[in-house]
Amino acid sequence: MWGNIAIAFLLAFIVAFMATPYTIKIAEKVGAVDIPKDKRRMHKKVMPRFGGPAVILGFLVSVIYLLIVMSIEGSINLFGMDEYGKKLLGFFLGIVIITITCVIDDIKEIKPIFKLVGQLLAAIVVVSFGITIDDINVRFIEIPELGEFVQSLITILWIIGVTNAINLIDGLDGLSSGITAISAISLLIIFILNGSPAVAVVLITALTGALVGFLPFNFAPAKTFIGDTGSNFLGFAISIIAILGVAKTYTAVVIVLPIIVLGLPIFDTLWAIIRRLIKGKSIKAVFKGDKGHLHHRIVRMGFSQKQAVLILYGISASFGLFAIILFDSGIWKAMSFLLMVIVAIALGYKNFKREKSTDERFECVECKYIYNPKFGNEKAGIKPGTSFDDLPDNWVCPVCGEGKDMFELHED
């Protein structure tokens, strides 16, 4: 197993590391670049956003090489009872569908609904090739016919949910790629402890390797973005590998481990949906971007982009460690770990809490109104000298009525 892990990691790493510079050149040629007119981006210059294909290439080269080697030596049987050959074919087809949809989006920016259709199609293909969350029906649903349908439905929801969750945290240099790499390492450890199938171990290792090969180009200050192609692939791949890794285990807790490992993007997305439903009072409001994601909040607290990313890496690693400890040593040790994390954050926060700066101006990304603490907002009863942080939570933009979530730090 350790030979497989070493080769899967290194091969994916080398290919992704070598391919990324080419994707930067290609991005400039085909126009897959981010021009900073988009209000939700934090960048000021034109950036290539085509790193995804390099990561996908690293992953696929490594996986296919190892599948061939392992088949020849006889350590896996792709056509045996578990039908890994069929399942992997479905997975690869899904990757092709997601990639085509998102490459078009990275170059031309298609409507979100077409992207969702692409994701749905890819998820349905994967499920119809036999990758489903097994054995849930054994515990929760008693009617077998309904069981299979519900299984497929839950699987599709899981794949699409995780794909979009990773896509949504793609807002700072190195964030979505780093968080996925950390989650993948956590899953790798869980797979090893769990005695998961060799195929799943190889897949998760290759994903980790490809991401580690890409990160040097993506960590702040980024030379390239991973793009929609990349962040969709990451969520899609990790959601499916998680299923392959925990399938056929008969410990109930194993099924919740991937949810904990991916806790940061999942909870951030759920919170965004709830927040937008409450604020917009309609389903349509859910799809409207805002500045309320966790990474926006941390930057608004006064941390730099790089610090914010490192804080989120730490949170993600804590989720991963919690899942590993829960699985390996049980609930009480996991809870004591959680307690220690909370104490550490409380202590650290006290020491690193920034001085509240009273002269920072914040700009409404919707209408460009600038809140200046020097003047306050007298009509709303805000006295001059009130910092943006101290504005009440229900304060809204006096020009367009958007909430504090739509404001970002204004720099000259």
- The residue from 129, 158, 322, 369 that contacts Zn ion (CB under 5 A) is 369
Binding residue (CB under 5 A) for Zn ion from 367, 374, 384, 385:
367
- Which residue(s) pair with 112 in the sheet? none
Range in contact with Zn ion (rule: CB under 5 A) among 19-27, 326-334, 342-350, 395-403: 395-403
Shortest Cβ distance from residue 345 to Zn ion (Å)? 33
340 in contact with Zn ion (CB under 5 A)? no
Residue type, 86: K
Q: How far is the CB of 365 from Zn ion (least distance, A)?
A: 8
Number of residues that bind Zn ion (CB under 5 A): 8
399 sits near Zn ion (criterion: CB under 5 A): yes
- Which residues, 6+ apart, have CB-to-CB distance to 379 below 8 Å? 398
Of residues 366 and 389, the one with the C-beta less far from Zn ion = 366
The C-alpha atoms of residue 206 and residue 215 are separated, in whole angstroms, by 14
Q: According to the binding rule CB under 5 A, does residue 380 interact with Zn ion?
A: no
Give the C-alpha separation, 344 to 85, whole Å: 46
The distance of closest approach from Cβ of residue 375 to Zn ion in the complex, given in angstroms and rounded to an integer, is 16
Contact call for residue 324 and Zn ion (CB under 5 A): no
- The token duo for 164 is 């979009």
Cα gap 364→409, rounded to integer Å: 9
What is the Cα–Cα distance from 93 to 88, expressed in whole angstroms?
8
Can you tell me the distance from the alpha carbon of 193 to that of 76, in angstroms, rounded to the nearest whole number? 19
3-state SS, 256-325, equals: HHHHHHCHHHHHHHHHHHHHHHHHHCCCHHHHCCCCCCHHHHHHHCCCCHHHHHHHHHHHHHHHHHHHHH
Smaller CB separation from Zn ion, 135 or 405: 405
Per CB under 5 A, 364 contacts Zn ion: yes
Q: What minimum distance in Å lies between the beta carbon of 143 and Zn ion?
A: 52
Min dist. Cβ of residue 389 to Zn ion (A):
18
Q: Which stretch binds Zn ion (CB under 5 A): 23-31, 62-70, 266-274, 364-372?
A: 364-372
Q: List the interface residues with Zn ion, window 102-131 (CB under 5 A).
A: none
